[in-house]
Amino acid sequence: MCGIIGYNGIRQATNILIDSLKRLEYRGYDSAGIAVLNNKAIEVYKDKGRIIELERDLPEIISTVGIGHTRWATHGKPNKANAHPHTSGDIAVVHNGIIENYEHLRDRLTQLGYVFVSETDTEALAHLINHYYRNNLMDAVVSALNDIKGSYAIAVLCGSELVAARKDSPLIIGIGDNENFIASDIPAILKYTRNIIYLDDMEVACVTPDCVSIFDINKRQIEKTVNTIDWDLEAAEKSGYDHFMLKEIHEQPRALHETFAGRISELEGNITFDGLNLTEEEIRSISRISIIACGTSFNAGLLGKYLFEYMTHIHVDVEIASEFRYAHSSPGSLVIAISQSGETADTLAALREAKSFGCRTLAITNVVGSTITREVDSVIYTRSGPEIGVAATKTFLSQVGVLYLLSLYFGKLKGIISSDRIKLMLVSLKKLSAQIRRILDDKESIRYCAEAFAPANDVFFIGRTFNYPIALEGALKLKEISYIHAEGYAAGELKHGPLALIANNTPVVAIATRGPIYDKMVNNIKEVKAREAPVIAIADEKDSEIEKYVDTVIRVPSTEYVLSPVLSTVVVQLFSYYVAKSRKCPIDQPRNLAKSVTVE
Ligand code: F6R
């Protein structure tokens, strides 16, 4: 998704803008550009393609103030004309989000004599600010924002004036010594400062080298807290791994540990959350839960459904957020929104819809201060640390970790799960980190297996009950990073159609950890074997039976059946990673995808 950077200080602005834009590459982009004040005039350099190419073509520039952008096309093709910044007279603008009344604004501004040179909605904003400009940039920006409908995070440059604003799209202000920053994401500026102000919706910031003043949309000045970021830039870099994805897969034992830290006490069988804001009585009265999420977070939500229904007997609906919004029945009394970024537009829109029904809302997210956290009644942070790879890995596992704790906690209050059972589950949960390390230590066997199947055109992942969401997640990971067509199926559903596609060139990854319906899973494996499909089973290390039915077995340590999805997840992640690596795919930045999807 698009990235924004702004700088006003005493150093060379171009160096800082380019360096910061490179740190935003992980968000995914198709063009990049900067605008700087060079000798009293705004100069713009932008093009389709990589930042490194933009940097190579830059002339010598002396400037201490500027803005920059990485664009992921939403309005118009990825090309030079559509790349940001967009200009109108002396005004330059970079923008994330979508201006919904852009057609109307375009007509209005064209009648006023403005000439459009791009297909973007952002250009209308540049002209609108120019239209209102009377020697005060903030006034012009506020007037323009009052005319637009939609979402935005913007940085606007006019002479040495630098202004930022946001609505429904993330933006932060970095506070330095004689220099200040604007950015859409913390890693972009962490090298320069740890002191961050989170801009809220409808706030406008005027950024000079020695001062940041923040106003509401009525131009009333407001005081904001300066937050200190306590994680390192190194944590946002690769630490010697070939890809962020592999690094983040290896960070999962730590991430899960952090997710559980301070929240469980296995001796007493206690689970506590700081941000839950729900009384025990309120939890006992919940009769239906709706989970809303997208993509990988949806898969975590689906596992959440199985967990809640098993541990609490509460009925749970899991909805794809972009569909939920258009449903015609009311959601459950508790709505749980799952989003690693906390910025996904579809999830936010669904959440707002749920709120209109008066439901209690709870967010499970990784990003402190993200938009979602400011719109819900309660937040549980996953504490995975920054995730740079576009394909979610550790954030997924931490979401799942929270869902285990939450469903156990609700199950205890509802009287469905006994104290003794909870204690045992908590002990097993705590062991998971060490068990994941064992899988990681043996990753070469997974690599070996993945390389053998890397030439496949189609791969199926199958599982039942708690393993079904992991089949979906395995298929999603494989398709997004290796570009192989992959399907995740509930294994019992294959015979109702997809079995027609199974043949000797269709590898099937069967998640077959031991559990109450293991025998049925084995029957499903036999169905695909009968069609000569090569089958890779993910199975318990103590299962001596499975090798009779499959071609390859990848073992996971023994744990409770309901917890085994955590371990199978690590296997499907590594499998997908090594297939993609073998196919030489750009693993951390798959084509057409973005880390944070802030458009509906
Ligand atoms: C896939 C992936 C996406 C996200 C989805 C929702 O690896 O990362 O499918 O899960 O875009 O994003 P969040 O969780 O930020 O709401």
Pocket test for ligand 1, best of 72, 344, 473, 476 (most atoms within 8 A of CB): 344
Look at residue 301 and tell me whether its pLDDT is greater than 70. yes
Verify whether ligand 1 is closer than 6 Å to residue 154 (CB atom). Answer: no
- Residues 10 and 19: their CA atoms lie apart, in Å, by 16
Atom of ligand 1 nearest to the CA of 399: 14
Alpha carbon of 296 to ligand 1 centroid (Å):
5
Verify whether ligand 1 is closer than 6 Å to residue 344 (CB atom). Answer: yes
pLDDT of residue 180: 98
Q: Which of 167, 247, 412, 595 is catalytic?
A: 595
206 is catalytic: no
Q: What is the pLDDT of residues 234-262, one digit of tens each?
A: 665 666 788 999 999 999 998 998 899 88
Say what the pTM is: 0.77
Atom of ligand 1 nearest to the CA of 293: 16
Verify whether ligand 1 is closer than 6 Å to residue 597 (CB atom). Answer: yes
595 is catalytic: yes
Domain positions in the chain are 3-235, 238-440, 442-586
How much of the chain exceeds pLDDT 90, in percent? 81
- Looking at every residue in the chain, the average pLDDT score rounds to 93
Q: What is the pLDDT of residues 548-573, one digit of tens each?
A: 999 999 999 999 999 999 999 999 99
Minimum mean pLDDT range among 102-106, 209-213, 228-232: 228-232
Q: Are 176 and 169 in contact, with CB atoms under 8 Å apart?
A: no
Q: Which of 2, 206, 294, 449 is catalytic?
A: 2
Query: What count of other Cβ atoms lies within 10 Å of the Cβ of residue 276?
Result: 17
Nearest residue to 261 (alpha-carbon basis) of 424, 409, 433, 436: 433
The residue-averaged pLDDT of 488-506 equals 94
Residue type, 530: A
Same fold, 238-440 and 442-586: yes
Q: How confident is the model at residue 113 (pLDDT cuts 50, 70, 90)?
A: very high
Superfamily for 442-586?
Answer: Glucose-6-phosphate isomerase like protein; domain 1 (3.40.50.10490)
Classify domain 238-440 by CATH architecture. Answer: 3-Layer(aba) Sandwich (3.40)
The residue-averaged pLDDT of 203-232 equals 93
Verify whether ligand 1 is closer than 6 Å to residue 370 (CB atom). Answer: no
Q: What is the pLDDT of residues 444-466, one digit of tens each?
A: 999 999 999 999 999 999 999 99
Polymer length of the chain: 600
Q: What is the pLDDT of residues 14-62, one digit of tens each?
A: 999 999 999 888 666 789 999 999 988 999 999 998 999 999 999 999 9
The continuous run of DSSP H or E covering 174 comes out as strand 172-175
- Residues 350 and 334: their CA atoms lie apart, in Å, by 13
Q: Fill in the DSSP letter of residue 514.
A: S
Q: Are 484 and 460 in contact, with CB atoms under 8 Å apart?
A: no
Look at residue 368 and tell me whether its pLDDT is greater than 80. no
DSSP string covering 171-218, please?
-EEEE-SS-EEEESSGGGTTTT-SEEEEPPTTEEEEE-SS-EEEEETT
Q: For the chain, what is the radius of gyration of the CA atoms?
A: 25
**Atom 11 (ligand 1): residue with closest C-alpha?**
295
Q: At CA 597, angle to CA 591 and CA 598, rounded to 5? A: 140
* The listed CATH number (3.40.50.300, 3.60.20.10, 3.30.830.10, 3.90.550.10) that belongs to domain 3-235: 3.60.20.10
Atom of ligand 1 nearest to the CA of 594: 11
- 195-198 sheet: strands from edge to edge: 41-48, 31-38, 65-71, 3-8, 180-183, 172-175, 195-198, 227-228
